[in-house]
Amino acid sequence: MNKKFLISFLVIVPLVLLIIGFSFDRTKYGTDPESAYLFNGLNVAMFESAGLYDHPGTTVHIYNAFIISAVHFLRFTNTDLQTDVLVNSEYYIEGLRKSFIILNSLLLFLLGMVAFSVLKNIWLVLLLQLVPFLSVTLIEELSTKVSPEQLLFSSSVLLIILLLKYYSSLNQENKKFALLFGLLGGFGLATKLTFLPLLVIPFIILKGNRNKILYLVAIIPSFILFTLPAAPAYKLMAKWFLAMGTHTGTYGQGPEGMIDPAKYLKSIIDISLNNKILIFAFLSSFVTLIFIVLKSGLKKKSGKKEETVYILALFVAISGSILMVAKHYNNNHYLFPALSLTGIVFVFIYQWFTGILNEKSKALLFFPPALVTIFIILAFANKPYLSLAYQGYRMSNQSTNETMDRIERDYPGYVKTYYYPGSFNEMAQLRWGNVYARQIHTNALMKLFPGGLFFNAWDKSFQFWETTIPPREFLKEYGGRILLVGGPTTIEEIKAVEDAGLKLKKLFEGRIQVVYEIDTAQSAIFKNSIHSGIAVRLLKNDLESISADKQWIMTEGERFCKNTSLTTEKPRSGIYSFALPEKDIYAMEYELKNVKPGQLYEVSIWRFGGDEEASLVVSAYNSDLFYAKSRGTTEKDAKGWSKIMMTIRVPAGFTDNRLKVYLWNHGNKPAWFDDFELAQYN
C-alpha cells in the first residue's frame, strides 16, 4: 500500500475523534472532577504537593501542570501563573480538555501505524481505532472531561501498542519489554486503580520467569515516580485503598466485608446490560478459549499458538475488571480500561483462527471487514445518545449564563451567597478545586474574588471562602438582602437547608440552578445568633499570668489551663504565646463549666503561621454530643497575626454540663497562638 495513502487512511478515525471532541461542550463551571484536577495541576506547577490522591490521579496532575505552564507561557501575560489560572479557570480547563483530545487522537493514529506494520491488515487496524466510538461512555468521557479517564485511555492504547510490538518481536526474551511494561503499569496504576486488572496481561504473556519478576518489580518504582506529587499522603492513600477493599459500599463506605452478595450480583447484571460491546468481547474470548480446549483435533497445534496466551490474558483482564468494578459499580466510566481492550480481543481471536484454519476456511477473510461494518453500525447507533448529551451540555451552559445575567439585571443591591457544594457557578467551581488542593490558594482567592461568599450545606454555615462567618456578623457586614445562588435543587437538599435554619423564597429556576432569596427575619439561623450585645460573662487571657509553681496559666486568680507549650519566641502581646510546631499537637485545654442548652458563646484567639489545620476546637468530652472546629480567620493585624473566631450555641438536648476549648495543629506547619477571648450571651 502506498505510504501516503496509508497515512491518509489511518488518520481518518483519529480525525473524527478530534472533530467530535472539539465539537462537544463540557458543563460550564463544573466542579467534580475538572476543578479539582485543574487546581492540583496548578499545585504541581507551583512545586506544591497534591491534595487529591484518591484515584490516585497524580499522572493527571503532572500532565496538567505541564499544559498549564505551557499555556501560561504562550499567553505572554505579565500576570503570575497562580493569578492567571484562578482568574481564567474556565479557559484553562477548556485548554486541558482539548489537549487530552489531541493527545488521544495522536495516540490513536500511532496505534494505527504500529498495528498496520505488525498485522498488515487494514481491517484489523480499523477494529482497533474504532473502539472509542463503540461506547457512549468512552466517547463522551473522552470529549467532555478533565479526569483520569483520559489518561486511562492513553495508557490502554499504549499497552496495546506494546503488546503488538512484543507480539511481532523476534527477541521476546529481551528485558526491555519487561521494563517498558512495568513503566506503563506503574503509570496506569498511578492514574487510577481501575487499571489494576490490566496489569495481568504482561505478566501472562511475558516469556521467562525472570522477565515476569522484572516486570512486577519495575511497577513499584514506576508507581512511586508517578505518585510523587502525593508523596506526603501515602499513608492516607493506603488507608483509602484498604477501606475500599474491606467495605462493601462505594468509596470505602458501608459495612465491613469484601462484597454484599445481592448488590454484587445485581451490579454484574447491570454492567452486562449497560456495556453490551464489552460483554460481547468477553464472551467471544471465553468461547474461543473453550473451543481451543475442546476441539480435540486442534489441541496439540493450538496449545502452541502464541495467540492463545494473548486471548487468555485479555480474558482474565476483562473478567478482573468486571469483578472489581462490580464491588462499587455506580458508573460505566470505571470500566474505561476494559472497554478500551474491545478491539484487541477480536484481533487476536482472528489471528488465532487464521493460523489454525488458514487452509480450511476462506470465509475467515471476510471476518475483519464484517466486524468493522458491525462496529461502524454500532457507532452510528450511539449517535442519538451523543446528540442528546451534546444538546444537554449546550442548554445547561446557556441556562447558567442566563441565570447569572438575570441576577445582575433584576437583583441589584443584593449580596450573592453561593450554595456549596453542588452548584454551577464560578465561585463554587473555584472553591471545590481549592478544597481538594489542600486550600493553598485560599489567600489568593480572597484577594482576587472578594465576592466569594457561600452557604456551606455540609457545615450549615455562612463562609467567606474557608472562613466561617457567624450569622450575626454576616448580617452586620452584608445586610439583610441576601440571595442564595445555585441550590438547593432537590427536596432532600431543601429540607436539609431549612432544617439548618434558613427560610427560603424561590425567585426563579434555571435548567441546573435555582436562585432563592433568604428571608432573614424568619430564618432561625439568624434569630439564634442575635443577642443584646452585652455579654453576661467575658473572659480574656493574654497568657501572661503563671501560677507560683509554674504548672498553670491563670486568669482572674483561677486556673485557666495547664502550662504546656508556652514559648517566648513569638508573642503577639506580652512575652508568652502557645507554640504548636508539630503535627497533631494540642494545647490550652480550658474547661467551660455550667453549660446549658441554648447558651450562646463567642470564642476567639489570634494565630501566627500555620494553616487552616491549626485551629480552635470546642467539644464535649464525648465528641459525639458536640464538636465544632474553627474555619478560616476574620481579620489580620499589622504584625501578621490572624484572628480565629467561633460562634456556637449549645444544642437543645445537650446532656453534659461541660465543654472543653482547646488548640489543635493537624497541619504540617508550625503555629503560634495568643490573646484568647470568650464571651457568653443569653
Q: Are 595 and 670 within 8 A, CB to CB?
A: no
Do 360 and 482 sit in the same domain of this protein? no
Res. 668: pLDDT tops 90: no
What Å distances lie between residue 19 and 12, 14, 126, 143, 640, CA to CA?
Answer: 11, 9, 18, 10, 52
pLDDT score, position 294: 82
Res. 361: pLDDT tops 80: no
Strand partners, 673: 578, 607
Res. 512: pLDDT tops 70: yes
Q: What is the mean pLDDT of the chain?
A: 90
Listed in sequence order, the residues at least 6 apart from 309 whose beta carbon sits closer than 8 Å to its beta carbon are 204, 205
Would you call 633 helix, strand, or coil by DSSP? coil
Nearest CA among 268, 265, 285, 393 for reference residue 341: 285
Do 220 and 254 sit in the same domain of this protein? yes
What secondary structure letter does DSSP report for 147?
Answer: S
Res. 403: pLDDT tops 60: yes
Res. 143: pLDDT tops 60: yes
What is the pLDDT confidence band of residue 531, given thresholds at 50, 70 and 90?
low
203 in any annotated domain: yes
Angle among Cα 324, 326, 328 to the nearest 5 degrees reads 90
Listed in sequence order, the residues at least 6 apart from 45 whose beta carbon sits closer than 8 Å to its beta carbon are 64, 65, 66, 68, 69, 81
Determine whether 291 is exposed, middle or buried from the number of CB atoms within 10 Å of its CB (0-12, 13-18, 19+). Answer: middle
Give the domain-ending residue among 325, 347, 381.
Answer: 381
What is the pLDDT confidence band of residue 533, given thresholds at 50, 70 and 90?
low
Task: Tell me the mean pLDDT in the region 170-186.
Answer: 95
What Å distances lie between residue 153 and 37, 132, 160, 271, 375, CA to CA?
Answer: 17, 9, 11, 19, 19
392 in any annotated domain: no
Listed in sequence order, the residues at least 6 apart from 577 whose beta carbon sits closer than 8 Å to its beta carbon are 543, 566, 567, 570, 571, 608, 672, 673, 674
Q: Are 605 and 672 within 8 A, CB to CB?
A: no
Which tens digits make up the pLDDT trace of 375-387? 999 999 999 999 9
Q: How far, rounded to the nearest angstrom, does the alpha carbon of residue 199 sit from its chain's CA centroid?
A: 23
Report the half-sphere exposure of 62 (CA within 13 A, side-chain side).
15
Do 419 and 329 sit in the same domain of this protein? no
HEC secondary structure over 296-361: HHHHHHHHCCHHHHHHHHHHHHHHHHHHHHHCCCCCHHHHHHHHCCHHHHHHHHHHHHHHHHCCCC
656 in any annotated domain: yes
What is the pLDDT confidence band of residue 409, given thresholds at 50, 70 and 90?
very high
Do 424 and 369 sit in the same domain of this protein? no
Among 64-68, 159-163, 214-218, 647-651, which is the least confidently predicted range? Answer: 647-651
Res. 163: pLDDT tops 70: yes
pLDDT score, position 31: 81
Do 361 and 407 sit in the same domain of this protein? no
Q: Are 310 and 348 within 8 A, CB to CB?
A: yes
What is the pLDDT confidence band of residue 121, given thresholds at 50, 70 and 90?
very high
Give the domain-ending residue among 381, 411, 444.
Answer: 381
| Cα gap 397→28, rounded to integer Å | 6
Would you call 423 helix, strand, or coil by DSSP? coil
Strand partners, 629: 617
At 317, give phi and psi (nearest 5°).
-65, -45
| Cα gap 112→106, rounded to integer Å | 10
| Cα gap 206→172, rounded to integer Å | 8
Which tens digits make up the pLDDT trace of 46-87? 999 999 998 899 999 999 999 999 999 999 999 999 999 999
Res. 304: pLDDT tops 60: no
Do 316 and 364 sit in the same domain of this protein? yes
Angle among Cα 22, 28, 29 to the nearest 5 degrees reads 135
Task: Tell me the mean pLDDT in the region 203-224.
Answer: 96
| Cα gap 150→154, rounded to integer Å | 6
> Among the residues of 135-208, which ranges form H helices?
136-144, 148-168, 175-191, 200-205
pLDDT score, position 454: 95
Q: Are 301 and 356 within 8 A, CB to CB?
A: yes
Which tens digits make up the pLDDT trace of 190-209? 999 999 999 999 999 999 99
pLDDT score, position 362: 66
Listed in sequence order, the residues at least 6 apart from 284 whose beta carbon sits closer than 8 Å to its beta carbon are 345, 346, 349
Do 122 and 256 sit in the same domain of this protein? yes
pLDDT score, position 165: 96
Res. 633: pLDDT tops 80: no
Which tens digits make up the pLDDT trace of 442-482? 989 999 999 999 999 887 889 999 888 888 788 888 888 99
Q: Are 479 and 414 within 8 A, CB to CB?
A: no
DSSP E strand boundaries for 383-477: 415-420, 453-456, 461-464, 467-469
Res. 21: pLDDT tops 90: yes
pLDDT score, position 530: 63
390 in any annotated domain: no
Would you call 256 helix, strand, or coil by DSSP? strand
Give the domain-ending residue among 527, 560, 582.
Answer: 527
Q: Are 606 and 642 within 8 A, CB to CB?
A: yes
Do 264 and 320 sit in the same domain of this protein? yes
368 in any annotated domain: yes
What is the pLDDT confidence band of residue 235, given thresholds at 50, 70 and 90?
confident
Among 98-107, 328-337, 560-569, 626-635, which is the least confidently predicted range? Answer: 626-635
Do 285 and 317 sit in the same domain of this protein? yes
389 in any annotated domain: no
Res. 142: pLDDT tops 90: yes
What is the pLDDT confidence band of residue 98, given thresholds at 50, 70 and 90?
very high
The cell for 41 is: 495541576
Res. 1: pLDDT tops 70: no
Question: Would you list the DSSP string of 31-57?
Answer: -TTHHHHHHHHHHHHTT---S--SS--
Gyration radius of the chain's alpha carbons: 30
Is 623 or 634 the better-scoring residue by pLDDT? 623
Cis, bond preceding 571 (omega within 30 deg of 0): no
Res. 223: pLDDT tops 80: yes
At 585, give phi and psi (nearest 5°).
-115, 145
Range of the domain at 558: 537-681
pLDDT score, position 577: 95
| Cα gap 273→317, rounded to integer Å | 19
Do 455 and 371 sit in the same domain of this protein? no
The cell for 276 is: 453490551
Give the number of domains in the chain: 3
Task: Tell me the mean pLDDT in the region 604-624.
Answer: 90
423 in any annotated domain: yes
Do 292 and 207 sit in the same domain of this protein? yes
Listed in sequence order, the residues at least 6 apart from 600 whose beta carbon sits closer than 8 Å to its beta carbon are 528, 529, 531, 647, 648, 649, 650, 680, 681, 682
| Cα gap 3→9, rounded to integer Å | 10
pLDDT score, position 256: 81
388 in any annotated domain: no
Look at the block and give the residue holding cell 454484599.
Answer: 260
Q: What is the CATH number of the domain that holds 655?
A: 2.60.120.260
Do 618 and 477 sit in the same domain of this protein? no
